[in-house]
Amino acid sequence: MTSIELHQLDKQYGSVYAVRDLTLHFPEGRITALLGPSGCGKTTTLRMINRLVEPTGGRVLLGGRDTRELKGEELRRNMGYVIQQVGLFPHYSVAQNIATVPQLLGWDRARITRRVDELLDLVGLPPDEFRLKRPAQLSGGQAQRVGVARALAADPPVLLMDEPFGALDPIARERVQDEFLAIQRQLHKTVVLVTHDLDEALRLGDYIALMHAGQLAQFGTPDELVLTPGSPFVERFLGDDAHIRRLARKTVRDLMSHERASTAGPGIDVNTNARTALAWMLREGVAELRVMEGERTVGRLTLRDLGGA
């Protein structure tokens, strides 16, 4: 695991700053969503981390080391990169695509073959079925999974992702997002995820770095941003329904109290998504639900619980 630190990072094109005086710490082993409106400097920031874009000022530290001191190979080994259009090589098979970085690093064939199969399993694509397919034979969701597998190939501690789920339809997007979260729970990569989609940031981000016009508007957990927005811009960007949207990443278990339920009314399973619980309360016209774990009542959930920290 490796943290990433940006110190007073600038990128200037002529007299225009794409990114200005950006100081930011991406915590080790966690997902940080780099969020903000179009043109605010997210992609430029991400590309300065892997040096596809050269900063005009400031420093990027990877695990405490200035990335200017790292050779190309070290950067590739340490950072996987996933982009929206996936960028798979069309004439390569799925296996060859995934093997790109290990090949550059000079791994032997047996090791590469083992690794490709392991990664296909990890992203939920049966190796026997998918190894020899070409990118054109994949659905959008499958291609995106191959993109993730390729980025993970050399087991880099850092994963840089630029709108990785942006091209998928909403249903496929949620599925691939869930799979990605499951993978991250096993691998604990330091992930920087560029997105302009607030829902995606609230769902996936352990932290959110919200940018505005090349600068950092606010850094914090999704709850911190929603409950204590630091400026009118942050408040406006999050919008009135952010309180409801943030519930999507919580379950009833996270917010319930263990007090005895005062109602014999409807019971909801403890693992239900909190946003679904809210929808249920509104539909049933009740301000409290009994929380069930299997056949047992384990507590209660009130409207107030859903609105609090």
Residues interacting with ligand ATP, by CB under 6 A? 13, 18, 36, 38-44, 196
Strand bridging mode 4-13 / 16-26? antiparallel
Nearer to ligand ATP, 51 or 253 (CB): 51
In the complex, the smallest distance separating the C-beta of residue 47 from ligand ATP, rounded to whole angstroms, is 8
In the complex, the smallest distance separating the C-beta of residue 239 from ligand ATP, rounded to whole angstroms, is 18
Please, what sign has the CA dihedral across residues 75, 79, 80, 82? negative
3-state secondary structure at position 194: strand
What's the one-letter identity of residue 8? Q
CB 190 within 8 A of CB 29: yes
The rounded distance, in Å, linking the Cα atoms of 236 and 210 is 12
In the complex, the smallest distance separating the C-beta of residue 36 from ligand ATP, rounded to whole angstroms, is 6
Nearer to ligand ATP, 19 or 95 (CB): 19
In the complex, the smallest distance separating the C-beta of residue 303 from ligand ATP, rounded to whole angstroms, is 36
CA 180, chain centre distance (Å): 8
Nearer to ligand ATP, 18 or 70 (CB): 18
In the complex, the smallest distance separating the C-beta of residue 199 from ligand ATP, rounded to whole angstroms, is 15
Strand bridging mode 296-302 / 288-293? antiparallel
Nearer to ligand ATP, 36 or 147 (CB): 36
Token code pair at residue 285:
């016209």
What's the one-letter identity of residue 146? V
Nearer to ligand ATP, 81 or 130 (CB): 81
Question: How many angstroms separate the first and last alpha carbons of the chain?
Answer: 29
Nearer to ligand ATP, 30 or 212 (CB): 212
In the complex, the smallest distance separating the C-beta of residue 290 from ligand ATP, rounded to whole angstroms, is 44
In the complex, the smallest distance separating the C-beta of residue 189 from ligand ATP, rounded to whole angstroms, is 21
The rounded distance, in Å, linking the Cα atoms of 156 and 189 is 8
In the complex, the smallest distance separating the C-beta of residue 194 from ligand ATP, rounded to whole angstroms, is 6
Nearer to ligand ATP, 225 or 306 (CB): 225
Please, what sign has the CA dihedral across residues 231, 232, 237, 243? positive
Q: 14: how many CB neighbours lie within 10 A of its CB?
A: 5
CB 86 within 8 A of CB 144: yes
The rounded distance, in Å, linking the Cα atoms of 300 and 264 is 11
3-state secondary structure at position 220: strand
Nearer to ligand ATP, 34 or 225 (CB): 34
